[in-house]
Amino acid sequence: MNEVSFRDKDVLVMKLLHYFITEKGYNPIILRGVDNEIWLENMDAPYRIIRINTGYIHNKEQYDFDMFKTKKIISRIKLKTFSFSLNTLSLFMDLGEDVELLSNNIINCVKVKDEKDIKLSKEITEAYPDIKDKLTFNEKGVELFAKITNDINKKNMKDAKEAEEVFKEKTPYVTYALLIINIIIFILMYIIGDGSEDINTLVNFGALAKDLVFNGEYYRLITSAFIHIGVIHLIFNMYALYILGKDIESYFGSIKYTFIYLTSALIGSLLSLVFMTDYSVSAGASGAIFGLMGSLLYFGYNYRVTLNNSITKQILPIIFLNLLIGFTSSGINNYAHIGGLLGGYIASMVVGVKYKTKKSEQINGAIVLILLILFLIYMSFFKN
């Protein structure tokens, strides 16, 4: 039986893939119409994009075209991942002797003919100081190929299992409870009150009234999110709560979801107080619902590669459209919407997205949330 052999370049590429995927958490990027190139992404790594070019670049014209094509692909990835900057490491495995590599502030180009080039490259070793040791294997030939393939498959299976756990649909018990509470309160406003459009009834049930909050009725900052003015207001908000709530609760879990919802309602109410007149009344779950939009934005950003271009084509347009409606229509408390949106995003950072958010980011989110609440309290209760 003949022994199977591999070219030195192919072996080095396999080792690099093994290192970046299994050691540094990079994931392959699927690009159509791209030959002799391997693209990897990790939005939390020193280089967000790793590009391995295995094709032969034999002159300056080919290299210039390759750089032009690379910049175009990076621009496409920016749009899909909602990223403003994608620092890229481009590794050339087969480069002509007369071709001079030119790096810029976005793309660092490195010629990698053998492992010695990797160890001598400042661009690579400063970002990945352990790469020198991680490219050493005891296996050779087919055994090396089998080990690398097996390790990469294990990593991919682990990632797939984690994604399946996060995206698996779960029963949204808290969302159902919120829907029931809102509907029951709305019905009670007609049974024991004078209806959902009566000012006294709204106030009695806990609507946001600036003078009453200033007199110590702080519970209105939360209770106002469970009261609605008119059946259309209720139907619109409950539909939005059901659509958004069941997904956010599934992604984050019931406890974290409850924190996000109530925090969004609180921030929305506090920002409303800053701009409300003394005797005006505000009510509705829309601040908390905008918080769910902010939460979805944060979740989508963390899973932007998995969700492709959903942020730019679905999530952001919905947010902008709803804010635009709020600014152009009378009788809508858009400050509650903006506050809820901001509160939902920050609250989501505090609780974190499973397998994605780092502890340091959660701590930063908690600090920002506390400072924001204190600032809004100052602007509402002391500045005014």
pLDDT digits (tens, 9 = 90+) for 130-178: 998 888 888 888 888 889 999 989 988 888 898 888 888 899 999 999 9
Domain that holds residue 253: 169-383
129: which 2 tokens? 């100081």
Task: State the pLDDT at residue 2.
Answer: 46
- The larger pLDDT score, comparing residue 30 to residue 338, is at 338
pLDDT confidence band for 301 (50 / 70 / 90) = confident
364: which 2 tokens? 């930063």
Could you tell me if 118 and 189 lie in one domain? no
- CB-based contacts of 290, cutoff 8 Å, min separation 6: 264, 268, 319, 322, 336, 337, 338, 340, 341, 344
Could you tell me if 296 and 364 lie in one domain? yes
pLDDT confidence band for 198 (50 / 70 / 90) = very high
Task: State the pLDDT at residue 128.
Answer: 93
Could you tell me if 138 and 188 lie in one domain? no
pLDDT confidence band for 309 (50 / 70 / 90) = low
Task: State the pLDDT at residue 276.
Answer: 84
Could you tell me if 288 and 350 lie in one domain? yes
- The larger pLDDT score, comparing residue 109 to residue 5, is at 109
**Cα separation, 183 vs 235, whole angstroms:** 9
Q: Is 55 domain-assigned?
A: yes
What is the set of active-site residues?
286, 337
On the question of pLDDT at 316 being above 80, the answer is: no
Q: How many CB atoms lie within 10 A of CB 100?
A: 10
Could you tell me if 17 and 124 lie in one domain? yes
Could you tell me if 177 and 159 lie in one domain? no
Task: State the pLDDT at residue 351.
Answer: 96
- The larger pLDDT score, comparing residue 103 to residue 337, is at 337
**Cα separation, 277 vs 211, whole angstroms:** 9
Could you tell me if 96 and 204 lie in one domain? no
**Cα separation, 303 vs 311, whole angstroms:** 10
Could you tell me if 224 and 284 lie in one domain? yes
DSSP 265-277: HHHHHHHHHHH--
On the question of pLDDT at 89 being above 80, the answer is: yes
Q: Count how many domains the chain has.
A: 2
The last residue of one of the domains, among 151, 166, 181, is: 166
